Every structure is written in C-alpha cells, then in structure tokens.
Amino acid sequence: MLTKTRYTLKEMVLWTRGETLFFVLYAVLITFLYEVVGLVFIDMPWTPIALVGTAVAFIIGFQNNAAYGRIWEARKIWGGIVNTSRSWGMMIQAMLSNEYTKEPMSDNELKKHKQQLVYRHIAWLTALRHTMRQTKKWEVFEKYRTNREWSRIAYIPERVTSLSDDLLLYLSPEEHSYVMTKDNKAAALLYLQSEHIKDLKERKIIWEFSFLNLEEKLSDMFDLQGKSERIKNFPYPRQYATLSHHFVWLFLLMLPLSLVSEFETIAQKFQSQHPLVDEYFVWLAVPFCGVVSWIFHTMMRIGTVGENPFEGSANDVPISTIARGIERDLRQLMNEDNELIPSQFPEKFHVQM
C-alpha cells in the first residue's frame, strides 16, 4: 500500500512555504544591506561556504538514508503482520474441531470460540496501532506549522476514537476490563489468546500438534510487535538529528553572505556594455538563494518526517489502513454479513493512514 501516489512541486512548496518565505526575505535583506546600504564587510568568501555546503549535503543524505531505512523496515514488519494474521485466521478455522474430543461441542459453540479467537486478534491489531500512534517526546512532526495543519485535516482514526471504545467492539466486558488495566495492552491480548487455546487443547478441541503451531504463531506476533515497538521507542539518534538541523540552518544563513558578492562580481563583467544589467544583476542573488535554500531545507524536512514512520504523516506506514484491511479479510472469511463488517478508513487527499 502506498500512503500517497505522487507529490507535485506545488504541494512541496506549500508544505515548506513558511521557511521558503523566510529564506527569500532574508536574501532580500542581505542584498539590500550589501548593495544599497553599502555594508560590504558582510561579504564572506565562497570557498568555505562551498565546503560547508558539501558537508551539509552529506549529512542530509545520511539522514534521509537512515529515515528511509526505518520506514522500509516498518513496512516490512507490518507486511509480516498481514501474512501472520491471515495464517492465524486460516489455522483457527481449520484446527478447532471435535475430531479428538470425548465431549463434542455444538457447531454454534465451536463457531463462537473461533469468532472469539479471531476478534481478539483484531483487538490486538487495534491495540498495536493505537500504541504506535502515541506521541513520544522526541517526535518532531508537530513542531512544524504545516504538519500541524495536515494533522487537523487528515483522518487519523486513532485520534478520532479512543482505544477503550475500539476494544469494546471485539472483547467481552471482562476481557476489556482486564486488558485496560495493563500497560502493554497488545501483549495482554496475546496472553489471553494463549490461555484460550491452551484451554481448548486440554478439552481436546485442538490437537496437541495444532496447539504448538498456534503457539508458534503467537510467538511470531510477539516478535513482530517487538520489532514495531523497537522502531517506535528507539528514535533516530538525536545527536545526528540535532547536528544536521543546526548545520543546515548555519549553511543557509551564511549562503546569501557569499552569493551576493558573487553576483556582484558577475555584474561587473556587464559594466561597460550593459550598464542597466550591471545595476540590477546583483538582485538575482535573491531568487537563486531562495531556490538553493528551499532544496536543502526541504530535503532536511523529508528526512525529519521520515524518522518516525508511525506519527501519522502522509509519508508514514499506513498502519490503520493495514489493520482495517486485515479485519475485513478475516471477517469476510468467517462468512460474516458484509453489512456488519466495517468499511475501510476513508482516504483524504489520496492518502491512506
């Protein structure tokens, strides 16, 4: 699944419009001070600026590679959750039977146990996605105004309904009360699953070999949950994130101090033949600084947004859509009425959450 099919240049500019306006106005100020006021001492040599720019480009590249690695790992983890969930649903349907028991259950009772195991799994998915959406103090998505604007207009299911209300749809009142008292609610649900299939094994509704296979699937779910929690709870190293942020801004603040004089030097070549061009050519440094600053800053923003792939941005792994898709698959394969199965979460601006 893709969170967004494509981005246009217009969308990218709107996303960074505040900072881009600052860069342009700052370049206008430096050019005015240099050209009109005559503060030529603010000029800086081009060579050290170019060296700093090269270093900053490497830093941004490193940050973006690391951020993409975290996004791709998160996508693989949730892809594993999809496959494991489908296997769980298939095994539950096939392995619960009266073949080995001396006290057979009715078909309705068997169906009820199967439904409980599947619904509890959906509750696990629900608890896990809510956990992944919780805000950590090191996450910086809401730091930027345009990101906060996106959060207000996007449909992020975990911010619309509470975990407690969502779990009521899949758990009995007793199980709901038990799970809500635990810090790690997703883990508590897997423990309940293990206790349930253990009870069915002791009643010979599940064959011992089948019980081991189901326990192995629960172990796989613990593994996938732990991997997802590792990305959520261990941030991109802050020393790299903080230094790259400061280095980029240092470079962008120094850039006009060097470029204005460079354009002044170029303008002098037109002095004799094109005096009018010579007079105003230096002001071309303003749009040039704006474009270069926008490129560097936007690349930094892309890396920053990608550091935490569960925050709810348009570039994140669409865990809500994935979880709802699994729920629909499992409930349809239990032959439930389609009218009772919840529809997929809505997309806004072609973005899946």
Structure tokens at 141: 């998505």
Q: Mean pLDDT lowest for which of 125-129, 204-208, 219-223, 273-277?
A: 273-277
Q: What value does the mean pLDDT of the chain take?
A: 86
Nearest to 248 by CA among 58, 31, 26: 58
This prediction's pTM: 0.87
Q: How far apart are CA 26 and CA 238, in angstroms?
A: 28
Considering only 89-103, 158-172, 214-228, 252-266, which range has the smallest mean pLDDT? Answer: 252-266
pLDDT given at position 273 = 64
| 103, 157 contact by CB (below 8 A) | no
Residue 220's contacts (CB-CB under 8 Å, 6 or more residues apart) are: 80, 84
State how far the alpha carbon of 103 is from the alpha carbons of 42, 67, 100, 204, 214, in Å: 91, 55, 9, 8, 22
Average pLDDT over residues 190-207: 94
For 129, the token pair is: 């996605």
What local confidence, expressed as pLDDT, does residue 236 receive?
78
d(C-alpha 299, C-alpha 60), whole Å? 7
Amino acid of residue 265? T
Q: DSSP alpha helices (H): ranges in the chain? A: 9-15, 17-32, 46-95, 107-133, 145-153, 157-160, 163-167, 173-180, 185-202, 208-233, 238-268, 275-280, 285-306, 319-333
Q: By three-state DSSP, how is residue 178 classified?
A: helix
Residues making up the chain, counted from first to last: 353
pLDDT of 24 over the 50 cut? yes
Amino acid residing at 63: Q
Which residue(s) pair with 351 in the sheet? 4, 348
Lowest mean per-residue pLDDT among 60-69, 147-156, 272-281? 272-281
Mean pLDDT along residues 184-200: 95
In angstroms, rounded to a whole number, what is the distance separating the alpha carbons of residues 316 and 310?
A: 6
Dihedral angle at the C-alpha atoms of 217, 221, 227, 233, nearest 10 degrees? -160
293/304 Cα distance (integer angstroms): 16
Residue 301 reports pLDDT greater than 80:
yes
Residue written as tokens 């195991």?
117
Domain boundaries of the chain, sorted by first residue = 9-340
Percent of the chain with pLDDT over 90: 40
Burial 154-179, CB ≥16 within 10 A → b, else e: bbbbbeeeebeebbeebbeeebbebb
